[in-house]
Every structure is written in structure tokens, then in C-alpha cells.
Amino acid sequence: VMPIGATLYTRPIYDAVYGDSPLAHTSTFGGNPLACAAAIAAVKTIMEEELPRRSAEMGTRMLNGFREVAKKHNETIAEVRGRGLMIGLEFREDEIGELVVASLLKRGVCVAYALNNPRVLRFEPPLIISAEQVDFAVEAVDGAITETIEMLAELV
């Protein structure tokens, strides 16, 4: 991990904020050649490996897979939503999310529920995820939900 940041703005905003004093604010990390080299390498990798395109493709694959799982478990899943590889799967009841997370961890899928809503599982896989890994995750979610529903049915 290498810290780097940038602020981008239009000329009218720049003029309104800084006017004739371009050095009115200095940086605590300014001029760090290692951070700049890391940023250039990261941008180069993103472009060479076409990660935005892959994110869209794999995200669509994962969303479609989760939507099929939602059709099967429509009494349990309220909604599947997302963009790219940031996907949320919302359950109808609070208790389900935590149980499904535990089942997924046993199946080798690391996922967490949203901190502000325990009904929503957050899927944020790496941009380099393969189609096979997406399919594995979708199958694991289906199995984890089935297992959770069966376990809860035994308790009633």
C-alpha cells in the first residue's frame, strides 16, 4: 500500500479557490517519487489488463448469476443490485445475512454484510476475478442460502 492523492478541478474552480496564490496549500506527501511511481504502475496495469471492461463483464456475470439464485429463493432474497463488481444481495429478514455469511466462509467465499444494514451482503471481489471464480461464488451463495433455509426450518 502506497499513499497518494490528487485533487482535480476545473479552471473556474481553481481561480475561485486559489486565484493568484497557487501555493496557498502545500501537501504533506507532495513530491514523493515512490508514491508517484506506484501510481503510474497501477494506472498502467489497469489499462493494460483492461480492468474496467473486465469489471463490467464479470459484474454482469455475477449479477445475472445472483438474479437466478434470487428467483430460486424469492421468499428469502428481496433484491440483487450493483454495478460492476460492487454488488449487494439483500435478504428479507435481518437474521439471514449473518447465517449466510458464516456458511459462505465455510465454502471458501469471504463476504461481509453491510455495516449499516445486516440484511445486505456486500460482494466486492478483486477486478482480476475469473469467470470460474464468479461461477463458484454464485454456486456457493445458492448452497449457503439453501443450507440456511433448511437449518432454520429445523428450528421451527
Q: Does the pLDDT at position 12 exceed 90?
A: yes
* 86 shares its domain with 102: yes
**Residues 126, 83: one domain?**
yes
Give the mean pLDDT of 63-78.
98
Task: Please indicate, yes or no, if residue 135 is contained in any of the structural domains.
Answer: yes
pLDDT in tens, 92-116: 998 899 999 999 999 999 999 898 8
* Same domain flag for 44 and 85: no
Check residue 64 and give its pLDDT.
Answer: 98
In contact, 80 and 88? CB cutoff 8 Å: yes
Residue 79 has pLDDT above 80, yes or no: yes
Quote the percentage of the chain above a pLDDT of 90: 72
pTM of the model: 0.80
Residue whose C-alpha is closest to residue 149's, from 110, 82, 100: 100
Residue 22 has pLDDT above 70, yes or no: no
In a domain? residue 81: yes
Q: Do residues 85 and 138 both lie within one domain?
A: yes
| Same domain (yes/no): 39, 93 | no
Which residues share a beta bridge with 112? 122
